[in-house]
Amino acid sequence: MSLDDGIAQIQEKITAVSADIEMKTVKMSAEEARISVYAPAGEMNAIQDATLMPTIELLNSDGLDIQVFVYDKNA
């Protein structure tokens, strides 16, 4: 799987949990990316829960290190 495919997969998981978010993605290398998610406080834990295992699976199976950082968009 390519990094772009992995990013798209994780972004789908995030938008399935909440549509009221902003996402910023930074590719740090060919195998590593950071997704910053700005979400309502009440949805932060659900986003973290929805992305934890998929990011671990991408790391173990494809060597892709996609980190998800969730922030309160109203803070």
Decide if pLDDT at 22 tops 90. Answer: yes
CATH class of the domain whose range is 3-72:
alpha beta
pLDDT tens, position by position, 46-63? 999 999 999 999 999 999
Locate 5 and state its tokens. Answer: 């495919």
Q: Where are the domains of the chain?
A: 3-72
Determine the pLDDT at residue 75.
Answer: 84
In terms of Cβ atoms closer than 10 Å to its own Cβ (0-12, 13-18, 19+), residue 34 is middle
Decide if pLDDT at 45 tops 90. Answer: yes
* pTM greater than 0.75 (yes/no): yes
Determine the pLDDT at residue 38.
Answer: 98
Locate 67 and state its tokens. Answer: 């980190």
